[in-house]
Structure 1
């Protein structure tokens, strides 16, 4: 075990991250009800998703990666802000999400990613952020509550995966400076 200090860098996701991002997301597709996608993706199938999150503007993709002595390790997680709905009147609302690598849980990676994401979004023309959390998921509920999200409702048995129905609890957070 190395005693060299490690640091976690949070940065915009880039095309070179596509394979690692796809691999991380596919874990949640295969193993959990956290996402309602039921078929794994190839990196090429995920490319439009990645490209829909530029380095600036309201729709962002941030990744967390361990760094030791100038060398970067695998991705530890990612966070996104995406359109809440496609109709124009929803333009000042975003849906946010965070995914942490299965072996990186409990290290504060989600907190680092959301802190960076909300700092990046602070000057955008945004009014609200929404997060849908498949239940049960206490870790995600705690993370969102810590960032000022409030529960606004639950869709009961809205998704079916692995032969079971799951609820999705919806959380909302006020953003600024848009009014």
Structure 2
């Protein structure tokens, strides 16, 4: 487990699902950062959780804040997921990080990604890709600072809140 202050990072599990669903639903309802348009329930989000086991290249790491008396709160999470379904893409992953709104700007996104990349260094993963809905200067800064480079932008690829959004794609080498 990694600690930065009172923040701990470890693999996500079933006990995190209510917090992670609520956290993600904020972005579904309030922002164009995700192109999901309908909030999830814990049950509809469970397949996503199960697609990130505690081993292999597809991981879920959760940053938690200790609230005392054995209670904690999820401050954010980072994932690595399949980039594309065809077998030749198996050594590439798509990564993402989501933070509780009050956790932004505290270094938690960096901490999550550092831990995720350390875990992925033990896997047969060659490249990480991140799609960032534009504009999102904070996410662009985070990814650039962590070694991602811009490789292209899909113009007006998603429609949400009655308008079209661009998605900039970033790439980071992970292995040989």
Query: Shorter-normalised TM-score: what interval?
Result: over 0.9
How far, CA to CA, are the matches of 2:135 and 2:123 in structure 1? Answer: 32
- Equivalent residues of 1:7, 1:68 under 8 A apart: no
Unaligned runs of 5+ in 2: none
TM-score (norm 2): 0.95
- Equivalent residues of 1:65, 1:72 under 8 A apart: no
Equivalent pairs, count: 173
1:176: Cα distance to partner? 1.1
> What does residue 135 of structure 1 align with?
134
How far, CA to CA, are the matches of 2:40 and 2:148 in structure 1? Answer: 30
1:94-133 counterparts in 2 under 5 A?
Answer: 94-133=93-132
1:25-174 counterparts in 2 under 5 A?
Answer: 25-67=24-66, 71-174=70-173
TM-score (norm 1): 0.93
**1:20-76 deviations in Å (ceiling 9; x for gaps):** 111000000000000000000100001010000011110000000012567443110
How far, CA to CA, are the matches of 1:110 and 1:63 in structure 2? Answer: 10
- Equivalent residues of 1:29, 1:38 under 8 A apart: yes
SS class of match (1:81)? strand
SS class of match (2:140)? helix
Unaligned runs of 5+ in 1: none
Task: Kindly report structure 1 stretches of 4+ aligned residues shifted beyond 6 Å.
Answer: none
